[in-house]
Each structure stands twice: as C-alpha cells, then as structure tokens.
Amino acid sequence: MSKMKMADGATILRRNRPGTKAEDFCRWPDEAYEEMDSTLAVQQCIQQLIRKDPSNIELILRMPETLDEGVWKYEHLRQFCMELNGLAIRLQEECRPETCNQMTATEQWIFLCAAHKTPKECAAIDYTRHTLDGAACLLNSNKYFPSRVSIKESSVAKLGSVCRRVYRIFSHAYYHHRSIFDEFETETCLCKRFTHFVTKYNLMSKDNLIVPILGEATTGESEA
C-alpha cells in the first residue's frame, strides 16, 4: 500500500477500499517514480502508466534513468503475464479442446507444451493455462528472483524463453479467435506493447513475431 502526503497535511492511501465501484478503482493522483517508497515501486510505476493510457506504448516502456534494466524487463514481463490472464479467460468461451486440440497459429506453426517432462502437444486452452502457470512459478521463484530491486544476470537470461512461450497465446488468439483478440487488443494494446517490448530488448527473434503488429507476418517451422 502506497501513501502520499498532501500539502494540506492530508494523506492519500493508494488502495481500493471495500465497496469501491469498478469505475472508481485506482482513481488516485499520479505519483512520480522517484517519490514511490516501496519495493513494488517499479510495478506501481508501470501499472500507473498503463491505467493512464494503455495505447501510449512508448511512454509505458520508457525506463526511468535510475533503474536497473534487468528489473525493468522483469517487472514488465510480470505485468504482461498478469494481463494475459484476461485474454485467457475470454478464450475459454470458444477455445475448447474439441475444436482447438493443438496449440497452433498459422498452418506452419504447431507448438509443443513445455510444462511436461517431455514437451508434447496440448489442447490450445490447456497450453495457455500451463504456460501462464509456468511463467508465474518462474517469475515468483525465490531461487531465481528473490528480490524486486536487484536481479542477477543469469536470472534475467531466463526471460527470453518465457517471452517466446507466452507470445504463442497471442498468435493462437489472432489466427484462430480473431474477434476475441481484436476486442481485447482494442481495450489493452497488450500484443502491440508486448511486441514493442521484446523487440526493444531483443528478447525474441523477429522471425517468431508472427502477429502482424510491427510489420508483415512471418512464417516458420514449429518449435517446442
């Protein structure tokens, strides 16, 4: 919970109290990153920028000068995974094992689920759940990420594989559930933000960015 002291002596509690209406959630004044006194300051900064304007991707991805780049990338990926749960919930309406028995995108791409001892095919909705669960376990691991203010380079190196796997949720939704994808993307700009993010920090090969957000779609062979 974050607090801010006003000039008149009043204190702003940055939390949603019980009974707060949905339209009033997080309706408190913005706070500069430098003034955020919390181990969760980076997360608060990112979420504040997203609430202000989710389409202002350049501003959302602009790292504060005093911040460690590894922490910045880590916190953004945590945020992407949290928001992707919203897309996963919507996909459940029509992405069923009977109709999407493989995790596919274009005809050239079939993805294997790495949540098993040996990667294997999963129904698309199961792949989505397994991937988000696996990402959450890794990003909340005390072994690899014991701190939210300092991250070892060896742990930062693991972020690329997470990005590749969670991106496949976007690609499946785009090519097989386009109306759901478009509605979600219009509200959140999440795939566009994610694509700019992984491109800016070289976390994914451009050959794997098959949703045409930055340019023409590409094709390639399937990978685990």
Neighbours of 76 (CB within 10 A): 24
pTM summary value:
0.83
Residue 12 pLDDT: 58
Q: Compute the distance between CA of residue 128 and CA of residue 132 in angstroms, rounded to an integer.
A: 6
Q: Compute the distance between CA of residue 85 and CA of residue 15 in angstroms, rounded to an integer.
A: 22
Residue 62 pLDDT: 95
Residue 30 pLDDT: 62
Residue 25 pLDDT: 58
14 pairs with which residues across the strands? 2
188, 86 Cβ separation under 8 angstroms = yes
Residue 170 pLDDT: 97
The domain locations on the chain are: 37-208
Q: Compute the distance between CA of residue 102 and CA of residue 121 in angstroms, rounded to an integer.
A: 6
5 pairs with which residues across the strands? 11
Residue 37 pLDDT: 66
Residue 214 pLDDT: 62
Given a cut of 50, the residues of the chain with pLDDT beneath it are 1, 4, 6-9, 216-224
State the fold for domain 37-208.
Butyryl-CoA Dehydrogenase, subunit A; domain 3 (1.20.140)
Residue 96 pLDDT: 95
Residue 40 pLDDT: 79
Residue 211 pLDDT: 95
